[in-house]
Structure 1
């Protein structure tokens, strides 16, 4: 049946990509859009439900055609942060430092940043050059072995949770219906005659739709066999609270990101600094009859080994904070494709099912919030340009016999993909509702 603006469209998942898709459907005039999610907005398990995310134009690809496509997608997203009145208030153009310490790390850094194409970059080779990025003396660490580049503008961070909520509220204003809680918790997709015709929720209701869009992030594998194309992978974050007097000292520092050690931001509006230790990620591998899969779970703590890495990063950069207690900690899930490219496509075997998956740890896909939904809607309307489609299409062949331990070019920690079954000790940070930080 041809798609029209009155077609019923059902979106599974109200995280970053599901919300962006709902917004762009509404902006294109679709009148019958429903979003299902088990959690109220913002979803407690969405990677986008966070105080801040890096907004960075760097590369993850090495091939010319891949670089061209990703630069175009990145520019569309950045334009949204800078020019869309809905998102512009949440973007902070503080600048960004990207650095590494070892030869392999510096080689990978050369993939992610190309100085010859950006006159805005300043090379940093000495510890004092890193310390001078914060004139109020908060970057007082040794920065031993650090080398990198400082983008003085055109990079920064976004108030993630607030931007996500704003996008959802605007979609609602334009007529999108969000259904959450038990009524929105999807148990299964409806498969009929080799197609998908909607979903069934935990309250037993059947939600039928002309088009179903799966934007369930790391949980997408619960509803569909992705033939090894997705690997749920988790990262680790912690917050440290600053006193009101301290906050002004740290305000407007650039995002500091060492791709082998971790990254941190200026304080969020509530006065907390978020720190993430960098590593190739954690899985939670579980054996199933058809083979092993990584299964996401929710936890508002981090492994003790992660805490050790976070505090080591602080000792190198802001030693005055290295022994402060954490005010919050969390594991954060994303779904890795085999090549770290997105998976956005109409399913070739289920013609009414569209996939918006595989953010692949690229800022948890969050930096694309202003624009990614437009690409998902293009997939639904079968008008993705061929150059882009080749890169993001359903392609189980590239994931055949997949190495679940592939680091995908990431560094940090033990420089290998870890598994939560190996973790012996966790932090004991007092629980806080992350939707109300």
Structure 2
């Protein structure tokens, strides 16, 4: 079967109004599509969306090795692609360079990019070597090596980094990196898409998709919890970690969660902590400057992730990770976050948390995005698999998804982000996927007892 004809008059249904859904709606509307409808069970910004966050890291990794120019302005590709890993690197850099351009130049997103710099560090010889081999290329870009605790302290004003940084070594990238105010950027994309004529149906039951609908062997849209059927010529499934509940992805998606927490600061403290570079230890955690509205400092502990493994009757009783919302974190995650603070900012390590939550994303097997027409349902395009890197793609990812819908996704991306169940046949659901920290393994929320969660009283739900 071939996809139906696509024109600016085609009806397009987007399932999911998170980071990728809002970006896609915006890009399609900018291209002149006139009939775009977006469904989501929550108002924008959704309290469970990964993109509903005060701040997310924006880092741009260059390609290692020789490069040549790409016909598409603003992109480079490897001179020689010798492996699938090389191809993934090309695809990721293609996406992040486009995103960086958007964060700097697109008025919908540029107010929310803070180019404060990015510090990446490790605490053991093996992890430090991993950073050198996989995370950075000191020969490219503006990297300063950090060898001592004093080197780390000098990256920020006096009195911020007061810790001893035991065993830490790292690199400081001062340009084209920093953080994004993800929630405000997502709301900005949503607002502009609405202005351009996109229809958003949000909230339960009207926006809660309970099933895709089918006719004559193809997807025809979706049914919502109120019993309504939303028919469309083309359907885009961009529901993040929730997408796995609506379609059989043949083990290509694993909903995985991370843990974040906030510390309240006074307005005076928040001012002192403004414009700081992101500090990220790949096995300990990271922090970014306080939110300008609520004066809360965000701290995350670093680990391979949590899953919620249950026997899913819809998948022949196989073990699957099923996401759920919770605005608390396991006490073990709180301990890890405070340990990170004791090594970096011990003067804050014992302050009470003002907010915490688990944050879900969807991991593909190889952590490359999944953006492709479904091989069996030509009217369905899947756009999922952020794999921990989805939010920073917000300004441009909708453009790549629109390209895929139009059948003109550039070759260096198309092969990497294709529908690829053959690499997931023997998938290890417990794989760390090259992530570090915590106990060194994927953790299971089913093992966290009811009284082993934080008990934080929180008002407005933010990320």
Distance (whole Å) between structure 2 residues aligned to residue 180 and residue 135 of structure 1:
44
- Does 1:32 pair with 2:35? yes
Aligned to 1:278: 302
Runs of 4+ in 1 over 4 A off after TM superposition: 59-62
Distance (whole Å) between structure 2 residues aligned to residue 434 and residue 344 of structure 1:
30
- What are the residue-to-residue correspondences of 1:32-431 with 2, within 5 Å? 32-58=35-61, 63-110=85-132, 111-118=134-141, 120-181=142-203, 182-269=205-292, 270-289=294-313, 290=316, 291-362=318-389, 365-424=390-449, 425-431=452-458
Q: 1:274-318 CA deviation, whole Å, 9 max, x = no partner? A: 000000000001112421110000000000000000000000001
Does the 8 Å contact 2:284/2:301 carry over to 1? yes
Displacement after TM superposition at 1:386 (Å): 2.6
Does the 8 Å contact 1:77/1:367 carry over to 2? yes
Does the 8 Å contact 1:239/1:326 carry over to 2? yes
SS state of the match for residue 116, structure 1? Answer: coil
Does the 8 Å contact 2:143/2:171 carry over to 1? yes
Distance (whole Å) between structure 2 residues aligned to residue 273 and residue 162 of structure 1:
17
Displacement after TM superposition at 1:246 (Å): 1.2
Distance (whole Å) between structure 1 residues aligned to residue 22 and residue 344 of structure 2:
36
**149-158 or 330-339, which deviates more:** 149-158
Does the 8 Å contact 1:59/1:70 carry over to 2? no
**RMSD over aligned Cα atoms:** 1.4
**What TM-score results when the alignment is normalised by the length of structure 1?**
0.97
Does the 8 Å contact 1:38/1:186 carry over to 2? yes
Distance (whole Å) between structure 1 residues aligned to residue 461 and residue 61 of structure 2:
29
Does the 8 Å contact 1:108/1:409 carry over to 2? no
Displacement after TM superposition at 1:108 (Å): 2.7
Distance (whole Å) between structure 2 residues aligned to residue 302 and residue 58 of structure 1:
30
Q: 1:203-261 CA deviation, whole Å, 9 max, x = no partner? A: 11000000000000001011100000000000000000101121122111110000010
Distance (whole Å) between structure 1 residues aligned to residue 16 and residue 126 of structure 2:
37
Q: How many residues align?
A: 433
**103-112 or 247-256, which deviates more:** 103-112
Does the 8 Å contact 2:62/2:140 carry over to 1? no
**52-61 or 254-263, which deviates more:** 52-61
